């Protein structure tokens, strides 16, 4: 069972372990964070929490009963009632519906707690899992893009539709 929690400072060790353990898995479908992400993790974590406190972003982790991070579901770049959705699930936890449930829960938080009216998301064309999650959670494809030099798709979600 996974629980969605708003990112806190005490999540740092488990979050770093999650990112390290899944680095190669994530890099197969999205750009790698680079070595600096890992060597400067504590400083960057503190910066992200400060940005979250200012309302610029809303970061979340999916944690198991032992406090291990199974995934992340984030809203970044909050501007004019909208934000960009991003998510990643640990390799060993993929395929169990965690991304779908986490995205649904964050969409509800975005609407009810954060006052957002719309979300955006992007994924590569070949990331069928991510495309399926977006479709199941009410995102609508709005057009093609280039994403880190690869064919991608842009999606939007109107948060006024609370049924999804």
Q: Where are the domains of the chain?
A: 3-158
User: With left for phi above 0 and alpha for psi between -120 and 50, is residue 143 left, alpha or beta?
Assistant: left
Q: Which residues contact 107 (CB under 8 A, 6 or more apart)?
A: 119, 137, 138, 157, 159, 164
pLDDT digits (tens, 9 = 90+) for 110-126: 999 999 999 999 999 98
Please choose, from the candidates 162, 149, 29, 30, the residue with its C-alpha nearest in 3D space to the C-alpha of residue 107.
Answer: 162
pLDDT digits (tens, 9 = 90+) for 65-119: 999 999 999 999 999 999 999 999 999 999 999 999 999 999 999 999 999 999 9
Averaged pLDDT, 124-134:
93
Q: Which fold has domain 3-158?
A: Aminopeptidase (3.40.630)
* Number of helices followed by number of strands (H, E) in the chain: 6, 7
The answer, yes or no, to whether residue 155 has pLDDT greater than 80, is: yes
What global pTM score does this model have? 0.93
């Amino acid at each position: 069972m996974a629980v969605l929690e708003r990112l806190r400072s005490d999540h740092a060790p488990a979050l770093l372990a999650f990112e390290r353990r899944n680095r190669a898995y994530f890099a197969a479908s999205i750009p790698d964070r680079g070595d600096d992400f890992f060597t400067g993790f504590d400083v960057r974590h503190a910066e992200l929490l400060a940005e979250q406190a200012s309302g610029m972003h809303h970061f979340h982790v999916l944690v198991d009963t032992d406090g291990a991070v199974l995934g992340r579901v984030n809203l970044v770049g909050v501007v004019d009632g909208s934000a960009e959705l991003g998510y990643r699930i640990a390799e060993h936890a993929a395929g169990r519906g965690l991304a779908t449930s986490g995205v649904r829960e964050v969409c509800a938080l975005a609407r009810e707690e954060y006052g957002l009216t719309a979300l955006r998301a992007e994924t590569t064309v070949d990331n069928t899992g991510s495309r399926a999650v977006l479709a199941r959670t009410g995102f609508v494809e709005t057009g093609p893009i280039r994403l880190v030099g690869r064919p991608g798709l842009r999606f939007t979600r109107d948060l006024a539709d609370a049924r999804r």
